[in-house]
Amino acid sequence: MATYLNPYLSFRDNAREAMEFYQSVFGGELVLSTFGDFHASDDPAEVDKIMHGQLETPGGLVLMGADTPASMELATQTSISVSVSGQDLAELQGYWDKLAEGGTVLQPFADAPWGARFGMLNDKFGTPWLVNCGPEMS
The domain that contains 28 carries what CATH number?
3.10.180.10
Cα separation of 119 and 131, whole Å? 5
pLDDT at 137: 52
Q: Is residue 33 part of a domain?
A: yes
This prediction has a pTM of 0.90
Could you give phi then psi for residue 50, rounded to 5 degrees? Answer: -85, 120
In a domain, 60, yes or no: yes
Q: For residue 135, name the pLDDT band (cuts at 50, 70, 90).
A: confident
The C-alpha atoms of residue 39 and residue 37 are separated, in whole angstroms, by 6
Q: Identify whether the C-beta of residue 129 lies closer than 8 Å to the C-beta of residue 121.
A: yes
3-class state of residue 121 by DSSP: strand
Print the domain residue range for 124.
Answer: 82-133
Give the mean model confidence (pLDDT) for residues 56-60: 94
3-state class (DSSP) for residue 52: strand
Instruction: Examine the domain organization and report whether 93 and 122 are in the same domain.
Output: yes
